[in-house]
């Protein structure tokens, strides 16, 4: 290098290697250079580690630097609006935060901290749903403000590029993946032992629900078979991007069960919301409406029911409805209901005769000693018995035909089940 006119930096130089013994031998073989073996180093913005050491210090420094810029993003939002601020956040904020993560394992805790920082920078103040806030920061299905995209795209797509362009012999990359699978399999905390591009590829794919079979073959969470020797890195990137969307939707579906469909990952129909937020302002739809919609979607509003749950108001009823006289707290009807008898009572509606003693009998005591509640106050309580012969004229409308004879059609609501028995007894002959 010196013969061709190159020179080393006068400041201390760092030497790192995939093997600590190799790095030591290099330093000893160059005694005239100011060079030392380093545990971690930064090269072209990327975090490197000597031997099997993880270099997470650089990720933490970038995270702290991003958090320090949070007030600037919020001031910018007040000046130019949420939509333009989200564009700056995607291009100059998140991209700098997640740069160089292809060979660094982004653990669950680190990813959560990154996502919280970006969400806090994109929102004016207050809390809200993390995933919905980042979806609103994305602004469309193709934009990527959420650090989750880079945390999965960087290791998986770079691995696909290495296979596609043969950066290393396939046998060497196959050994890296096989070792990573053996190391991570069955681990409660796989991120603590994941080091290097191979484990980063395997662990990141597993977080999306993908299965890695070898260095070149994997199956997505939608059971789609991918071959890195056949499918281009651009195609793999599109698959990863859609998988991250499904990963986020599953997180939301676990909190909002009404969104769950089939195996999950479909989420909400968010495109109309994007169209409203990205549309032009007009006399009937301006920035104030967009801000209110964004705040409501990200769950940063406190509706009356949420205030009531927090003990901040006395009523869960909508105040506008109360003002219009449409709803309010309803007093309990219990004081207006006759108290149950204190002694056991029994009254024959129609006393059976010797002829009806051979008839079919139906008994019910489902609400015997039942506790009062709001709707139970209006139900008959106790037990009932009905006996009737199959030859009476009122069987067809009240009974269903059955091979073994007629039977009573029992209602689902046990509180009202004594009523048909009472009616059956009244009509018995």
Domain-located, residue 324: no
Q: DSSP readout, 26-72?
A: HHHH-TTS-EEE-SEEEETTEEEESTT----HHHHHHHHHHHHTHHH
- Please check whether residues 65 and 198 belong to one and the same domain: yes
Query: Which pLDDT band holds residue 37 (cuts at 50, 70, 90)?
Result: confident
Q: Are 411 and 427 in contact (CB under 8 A)?
A: no
Q: Are residues 234 and 155 in the same domain?
A: yes
Cβ count near 29 (within 10 Å) = 8
Clarify whether residues 273 and 418 are in a common domain: no
- In a domain? residue 167: yes
Q: Which helix (H) or strand (E) holds 20?
A: helix 20-29
Q: What is the pLDDT of residue 163?
A: 94
pTM strictly above 0.85 = no
Task: Kindly state whether residue 252 falls inside one of the protein's structural domains.
Answer: yes
In this model, does residue 133 exceed pLDDT 70? yes
pLDDT of residue 83: 80
185 shares a domain with 63: yes
Verify that 150 and 263 share a domain, yes or no: yes
The most distant pair of C-alpha atoms in the chain lies apart, rounded to whole Å, by 124
The domain tally of the chain equals 3
| Confidence check: pLDDT of 180 > 80 | yes
Q: What pLDDT is attached to residue 19? A: 75
- Read off φ and ψ for residue 310, nearest 5 degrees: -80, 0
Q: Please indicate, yes or no, whether residues 172 and 201 belong to a single structural domain of this protein.
A: yes
A 10 A CB-CB count for 321 gives 12
Average pLDDT of the segment spanning 50-59: 74
Where is the domain boundary, 280, 297, 324? 280
Task: Report the alpha-carbon distance of residue 187 to residue 386 in Å, rounded.
Answer: 64
Q: Domain containing 168: what range? A: 48-280
| Run of H or E including 309 | helix 304-309
Last residue of a domain, one of 243, 261, 280: 280
Do 73 and 18 lie in one domain? The reply is no
Band of residue 233 on the pLDDT scale cut at 50, 70, 90: very high
116 part of a folded domain: yes
Q: Which residues pair with 37 in a beta bridge?
A: 15
pLDDT value of residue 280: 86
Question: In whole angstroms, what is the distance from residue 223 CA to residue 264 CA?
Answer: 14
What is the structure's pLDDT at 248? Answer: 92
Q: From the CB of residue 38, how many other CB atoms can be counted at a distance below 10 Å? A: 18
Domain boundary, last residue among 245, 280, 315: 280
Q: Which residue has the tokens 């129609």?
A: 350
Written as one string, the DSSP assignment of 168-209 is S-HHHHHHHHHHHHHHHTT-SSGGGT--SHHHHHHHHHHHTT
Strand-pair partners of 15: 37
What's residue 241's pLDDT? 92
Task: Identify whether residues 21 and 101 lie together within a single domain.
Answer: no
Q: Which helix (H) or strand (E) holds 218?
A: strand 217-219
Residues 81 and 187 in one domain: yes
**pLDDT at residue 229, rounded to an integer:** 93
């Amino acid at each position: 290098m010196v013969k061709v006119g190159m020179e080393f930096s006068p400041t201390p130089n760092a030497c790192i290697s995939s093997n600590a013994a190799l790095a030591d031998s290099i330093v000893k073989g160059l005694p005239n250079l100011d060079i030392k073996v380093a545990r971690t180093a930064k090269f072209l913005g990327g975090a490197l580690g000597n031997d099997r050491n993880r270099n997470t210090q650089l990720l933490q420094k970038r995270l702290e630097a991003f958090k320090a810029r949070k007030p600037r993003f919020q001031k910018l939002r007040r000046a130019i609006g949420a939509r333009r601020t989200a564009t700056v956040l995607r291009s100059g904020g998140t991209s700098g935060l997640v740069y160089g993560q292809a060979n660094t394992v982004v653990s669950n805790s680190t990813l959560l901290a990154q996502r919280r920082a970006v969400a806090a920078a994109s929102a004016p103040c207050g809390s809200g749903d993390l995933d919905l806030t980042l979806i609103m920061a994305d602004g469309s299905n193709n934009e990527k403000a959420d650090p989750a995209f880079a945390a999965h795209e960087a290791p998986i797509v770079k691995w696909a590029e290495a296979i596609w362009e043969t950066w290393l012999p396939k046998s060497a990359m196959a050994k890296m993946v096989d070792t990573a699978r053996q190391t991570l399999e069955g681990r409660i905390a796989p991120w603590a032992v994941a080091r290097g591009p191979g484990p980063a590829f395997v662990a990141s794919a597993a977080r999306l629900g993908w299965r890695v079979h070898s260095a070149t073959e994997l199956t997505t969470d939608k059971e789609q078979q991918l071959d890195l020797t056949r499918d281009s890195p651009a195609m793999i990137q599109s698959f990863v991007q859609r998988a991250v969307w499904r990963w986020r939707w599953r997180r939301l579906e676990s909190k909002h069960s009404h969104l769950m469909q089939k195996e999950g990952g479909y989420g909400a129909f968010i495109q109309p919301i994007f169209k409203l937020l990205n549309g032009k302002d007009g006399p009937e739809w301006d920035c104030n409406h967009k801000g209110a919609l964004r705040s409501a979607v990200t769950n940063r509003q406190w509706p009356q029911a949420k205030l009531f749950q927090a003990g901040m108001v006395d009523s869960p009823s909508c105040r506008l409805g109360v003002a219009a006289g449409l709803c309010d707290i309803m007093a309990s009807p219990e004081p207006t209901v006759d108290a149950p008898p204190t002694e056991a009572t029994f009254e024959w509606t129609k006393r059976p005769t010797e002829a009806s003693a051979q008839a079919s009998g139906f008994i019910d005591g489902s609400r015997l000693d039942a506790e009062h509640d709001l709707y139970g106050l209006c139900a008959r309580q106790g037990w009932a018995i009905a006996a009737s012969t199959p030859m009476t004229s009122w069987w067809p409308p009240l009974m269903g035909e059955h091979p073994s004879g007629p039977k009573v059609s029992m209602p689902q609501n046990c509180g009202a089940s004594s009523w048909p028995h009472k009616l059956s007894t009244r009509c018995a002959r």
